[in-house]
Structure 1
Amino acid sequence: MATPELSETYACMPSTERGRGILISGHPKTNSVLYTNGRSVMMLNLDNPLEVSVYAEHGYPATVARYSPNGEWIASADVSGVMRLWGTHSGFVLKNEYKVLSGRIDDLQWSPDGMRIVACGEGKGKSFVRAFMWDSGSNVGEFDGHSRRVLSCAFKPTRPFRIATCGEDFLVNFYEGPPFRFKQSLRDHSNFVNCIRFSPDGSKFISVSSDKKGIIYDAKTADKIGELSSDDGHKGSIYAVSWSPDGKQVLTVSADKTAKIWGISDEGNGTLEKTLTSHCSGGVDDMLVGCLWQNQHLVTVSLGGTISLFSASDLDKSPVILFGHMKNVTSLVVLKSDPKVILSTSYDGRIIKWIQGIGYSGKLQRKENSQIKCLAALEDELVTSGFDNKVWRVSIKDGQCGEAEAIDVGSQPKDLTLAAVSPELALVSIDTGVVLLRGSNIVSTINLGFTVTASVLAPDGSEVIVGGQDGKLHIYSVADDSLTEEATIEKHRGAISVIRYSPDLTMFASGDLNREAIVWDRATREVKLKNMLFHTARINCLDWSPDNTKVATGSLDTCVIIYDVDKPASSRLTVKGAHLGGVYGLAFTDDYSVVSSGEDACVRVWKLAPQ
């Protein structure tokens, strides 16, 4: 079998933090943008959001990434103070890695000739800012003048070069060079100064602050020349600012949940031209924390990770909304009635609907926003369980969550399955045994006498297979809401992590924490495919192809492996590095498409070549 090809990526959203701006930066020539989530640097094409590349080589959570002026290189930095310089051609090529600061790097900027980089953030003593040669890492100046964390830095895009910085000490500092030397401190703000940016022609720069002000300075002298009008100004902290390509306007975003476009006169005064609002629920998650004016796209990012794309040429047009997960995507289901529809849930309680070929298609908003570990779904109902003792049954009408009922099963659910033929019947496994539910009623709680780690219920509700900490599979028949043990089968050498029936119910497959998967014949209970021992860490998830010929497994080792049931396990297909941090969800949408999800908060579709 040929190696599976990545056909679509449903990107994670930027990591955000309350009370802080975030950075999203653009390519100098295209509509590609960069942002960070966890240890990943995401490259997203605004013209086609399914076109995504991910750089995952940072050892710590990444904070900022920027393209070089010619677009050939990317500088990305992380919370440990390390910056990596890498190329984007034919895979990722690391050019250099530098330890720049002793703490988190919050911002970085290239000089217009691409020869120097300035970075700022947290440091020890007074070293909050550093500028250096991009190819050697040697310093090109001294940056005194700040006493606290420096949140933003900017490089004047024309000669003579200047650097401006701002931070938590309420200061805007100005440096001349190279080599750069402190010139002066500007004390016009009365709160954190969150972002500073030079205009594209290098004539002005602007700083925005949590004091709700935006102040404009002359880029040569650092004299204050104007500010954003306060008459219709922001009512909350301003977290980010971005210039239009022609330098005549700026875009600002604020905790007041609005984005504003300001006209900037030659003298340096800012008058409000337009307030942009996206459809929002009005909660804290709608505070805006990042923005970018990228050619014809005006990009805003909310605290909840929603990216809104406004059109610069038609500001009254509704924005295109991009949304996704921000945390580990723990489970995936494909709707049986329409396998192109994928539902994914993340650790933080989000449920997102994707359509293969289109991408983001909406979020299912539940009234209770509890964490989710397991998900089962039918056309008109979701059943979820999290890290409390509850199972939720949520009705779905017109693609929205309706009434929800919580069932307390008395212990943390480990696994849950619905009987597809009679969906009011559900099986929930807990440490000590299993709980059978009919609708929202517990019909029996059965102590099985061993530690349960996984379970599955046959679609017609007639059989249950339970996996234990001891690696054994226990098969029970179900009658009158009670279980009768029919057989115990042993082959696994580790605790069972997942069990799934084949679609035609003639087989089932199981995976364990000792990295092995096994396919069983259901009638004889004999091993049908063995030696599936190619992962290097525990198996988290598995699924069957609709035609019953293939089993896919996903593991903590970041790989997805696809086996053909009728061929030896050695003729497998492997997707290496499918998800940074591990694969946690897997589902076939058809015989030749597998969807995976993982720790990196992304969802991906892989295409297998027909044999």
Structure 2
Amino acid sequence: MAAELSETYACLPSTERGRGILISGNPKSDSILYTNGRSVIILDLNNPLNVSVYGEHAYPATVARYSPNGEWIASADVSGTVRIWGAYNDHVLKKEFRVLSGRIDDLQWSPDGMRIVASGDGKGKSLVRAFMWDSGTNVGEFDGHSRRVLSCAFKPTRPFRIVTCGEDYLVNFYEGPPFKFKLSHRHHSNFVNCVRFSPDGSKFISVSSDKKGIIFEGKTGEKIGELSSEDGHKGSIYAVSWSPDGKQVLTVSADKSAKVWEISEDGNGRLKKTLTCPGSGGIDDMLVGCLWQNDHLVTVSLGGSISKFSASDLDKSPVQLSGHMKNISALAVPKSDSKLILSSSYDGLIVKWIRGIGYSGKLSMKEISQIKCFAAVEQEIVTTGFDNKVWRVSLNGDQCGDAESIDVGSQPKDVSLALHSSELALVITDSGVNMLRGTKVVASISLGFVATVSAISHDGSEAIIGSEDGKLHIYSITGDTLAEEAVLDKHRGAVSVIRYSPDLSMFASGDLNREAFVWDRASQEVKLKNMLYHTARINCLAWSPNSSMVATGSLDTCVIVYEVDKPPSTRITIKGAHLGGVYGLVFTDDYNLVSSGEDACVRVWKLNPQ
């Protein structure tokens, strides 16, 4: 068998409250670049399922930009490193340079594609650096800033100029190459968050947390105008982007609005349209990033959601792209609809995906803050959080219906449901196991060992509880009591996951010592052993609906698929499935496997029998 990646549902851009983020686009297509953790995401605005992820940074990435010809991408991270790699074909690394001693906040290519300027945080004077991209040679001295430099821009036409701005409220102008300080402006009274040249280089604009946008002459650096304050933003302006013809700009602000401005020849800006992004009006709807990409106006909210407006029809409702920003810890596929995938991340977000379409909406449950465990059956979701509560939430189509909770007294470690009688659930805690029927604890049982995970048979007649010492305890369930029937002792590490096969003839278990077993349920003997191909702990496990395959996901970033009736050496290994580790696995049908992980992405793998 072989596995091929059929779909990726991308993570959202990482955001930070009180700071803008700088996204960029391909000059020759509708692809955009943004970062999340150590990943750089290349997303096609016209087809959000067309996603590519670059994950070679050793530290969290901060910004990425296409070269003027669209062939190369330069991306930077919090360690001050810039990596230059191919935009296509396996993203081969061309060069790597340590540019600053601290975080890089912005970088820009020169229009001839020969030089790169980067700005950010650093010790001493080195807050801005311009260098030849092929050799790393410096091409100028950048004095004049005393605090973090949040943004930099290269004039896109000759004579070349570089402009920078930052937390010292300054906008600095440099002539070159080699670049030398020319002049400094202190027209802003707060952090200057973003500076950008118009496409023809005749003007540049700076925007600030003082709610102002100031326009300068591109060649001399002199101030020529401002954005009108009459219809201006009511909060910090975090980002700005020019239209391709250089006659308009797009700004976004903490006041949750985006504005399109017409820039006159004399350099003043008049409001053309205020764009309202969809959202509930909460803090997460503050806008922190924007990009004018061909006919698309793109905005990014603090919650990471991307809204896509049409530049040629500003009255048209925006298309929203969303997903997760944090580690996706669990996945579920309701039996009634194998095209629907539910994913949950520990920050309390549950997202719906539809195979072939992608993002389909969020299930918002205001009561739930952080989700630790998550299970779904037909029309119900059961979650546990860090607040000692177990929630049962009914699903009505796209909406979450009634939510009921019960406090189990200590933090739940794992939850398992009887699929055919979803009223019955087992919740593992430090003190033992709680048996729930609906939202009532019908029994609290002290086990005499430290339990880690559990599984309950679909009909609710049997349960298996894994322990920290690697043992599997099998219990029969009668009424509201558990009776221990057997103890299986094969694991050499704490048990991390247990799952019954769909036909209930087998169960599989995995441990923190990177080993998995498939057991015959009737004889309680090992049916498939030597499943020792991961190099780190096993986090998750899933069965195919026909019970012929079992898949394991690990901290080592790999997914391994075994066929139960064949030796483990015939396995399929999907290497690097998720940067940082695989935390969720579920089959949608016998030949499609869904995975999720630390990188906040969801991927669908097609398994091809050979």
* CA distance in 2 between partners of 1:407 and 1:63 (Å): 41
Q: Which moved more, 1:276-285 or 1:373-382?
A: 373-382
Q: Which moved more, 1:454-463 or 1:577-586?
A: 454-463
* CA distance in 2 between partners of 1:399 and 1:89 (Å): 37
The equivalent of 1:11 in structure 2 is 10
The equivalent of 2:150 in structure 1 is 151
* CA distance in 2 between partners of 1:593 and 1:397 (Å): 26
The 5-angstrom pairing of residues 455-604 of structure 1 reads 455-604=454-603
User: Percentage identity across aligned positions?
Assistant: 77
Gaps of 5+ in 1: none
* CA distance in 2 between partners of 1:140 and 1:465 (Å): 66
1:215 and 2:214 equivalent?
yes
The equivalent of 1:367 in structure 2 is 366
1:100 and 2:86 equivalent?
no
* CA distance in 1 between partners of 2:253 and 2:367 (Å): 28
The amino acid of 1:189's aligned partner reads H
The equivalent of 1:400 in structure 2 is 399
1:127 and 2:126 equivalent?
yes
Q: Which moved more, 1:10-19 or 1:82-91?
A: 82-91
* CA distance in 2 between partners of 1:216 and 1:179 (Å): 25
* CA distance in 2 between partners of 1:520 and 1:238 (Å): 59
The equivalent of 1:431 in structure 2 is 430
* CA distance in 1 between partners of 2:431 and 2:227 (Å): 64
After TM superposition, the score normalised by the length of structure 1 is 0.99
Distance apart, 1:367 and its partner CA:
1.4
Q: Deviations over 1:293-324 (max 9, x none)?
A: 00011100000000000111111111110001
Q: Deviations over 1:25-77 (max 9, x none)?
A: 00010111100000000000111100111100111100000000011111100
* CA distance in 1 between partners of 2:385 and 2:496 (Å): 16
Distance apart, 1:388 and its partner CA:
2.9
* CA distance in 1 between partners of 2:548 and 2:10 (Å): 30
User: Is the partner of 1:91 in helix, strand or coil?
Assistant: helix
* CA distance in 2 between partners of 1:523 and 1:414 (Å): 28
Distance apart, 1:163 and its partner CA:
0.3
The equivalent of 1:283 in structure 2 is 282
The equivalent of 1:270 in structure 2 is 269
After TM superposition, the score normalised by the length of structure 2 is 0.99
Distance apart, 1:399 and its partner CA:
1.8
1:452 and 2:451 equivalent?
yes
The equivalent of 2:314 in structure 1 is 315
The equivalent of 1:44 in structure 2 is 43
User: Is the partner of 2:69 in helix, strand or coil?
Assistant: coil
Q: Deviations over 1:357-400 (max 9, x none)?
A: 11000000001231111111123221101223111111222321
The equivalent of 1:66 in structure 2 is 65
User: Is the partner of 1:608 in helix, strand or coil?
Assistant: strand
Distance apart, 1:587 and its partner CA:
0.2
Are 2:368 and 2:385, in contact at CA under 8 Å, matched by a contact in 1? no
1:55 and 2:62 equivalent?
no
* CA distance in 2 between partners of 1:378 and 1:342 (Å): 12
* CA distance in 2 between partners of 1:378 and 1:517 (Å): 26
The equivalent of 2:604 in structure 1 is 605
* CA distance in 2 between partners of 1:413 and 1:452 (Å): 11
Number of residue equivalences: 610
* CA distance in 2 between partners of 1:593 and 1:218 (Å): 56
The amino acid of 1:8's aligned partner reads E
Q: Deviations over 1:113-168 (max 9, x none)?
A: 00000000001112211001111111000000111110000000000000000001
User: Is the partner of 2:284 in helix, strand or coil?
Assistant: helix
The amino acid of 1:64's aligned partner reads V
Q: Deviations over 1:214-246 (max 9, x none)?
A: 010000111111111111110100000000001
Are 2:60 and 2:77, in contact at CA under 8 Å, matched by a contact in 1? yes
* CA distance in 2 between partners of 1:7 and 1:153 (Å): 38
* CA distance in 2 between partners of 1:396 and 1:570 (Å): 42
Distance apart, 1:347 and its partner CA:
1.4
RMSD: 0.8
The equivalent of 2:350 in structure 1 is 351
* CA distance in 1 between partners of 2:265 and 2:151 (Å): 24
Q: Which moved more, 1:481-490 or 1:87-96?
A: 87-96
User: Is the partner of 1:542 in helix, strand or coil?
Assistant: strand
Q: Which moved more, 1:264-273 or 1:404-413?
A: 404-413
The equivalent of 2:83 in structure 1 is 84
The equivalent of 2:231 in structure 1 is 232
* CA distance in 2 between partners of 1:405 and 1:11 (Å): 32
Distance apart, 1:432 and its partner CA:
3.1
The amino acid of 1:438's aligned partner reads R
* CA distance in 2 between partners of 1:125 and 1:552 (Å): 51
Gaps of 5+ in 2: none
Q: Deviations over 1:394-415 (max 9, x none)?
A: 1222321222222111222111
* CA distance in 2 between partners of 1:599 and 1:184 (Å): 45
The amino acid of 1:389's aligned partner reads N
* CA distance in 1 between partners of 2:87 and 2:24 (Å): 15
* CA distance in 2 between partners of 1:507 and 1:272 (Å): 66
* CA distance in 2 between partners of 1:167 and 1:432 (Å): 53
The 5-angstrom pairing of residues 248-263 of structure 1 reads 248-263=247-262
The amino acid of 1:172's aligned partner reads V
Distance apart, 1:88 and its partner CA:
2.6
Q: Deviations over 1:268-302 (max 9, x none)?
A: 11101111102210100000000000001110000
Distance apart, 1:449 and its partner CA:
0.4
Q: Deviations over 1:201-225 (max 9, x none)?
A: 0100000001111010000111111
Divergent runs of 4+, >4 A: none
User: Is the partner of 1:421 in helix, strand or coil?
Assistant: helix
* CA distance in 2 between partners of 1:475 and 1:125 (Å): 63
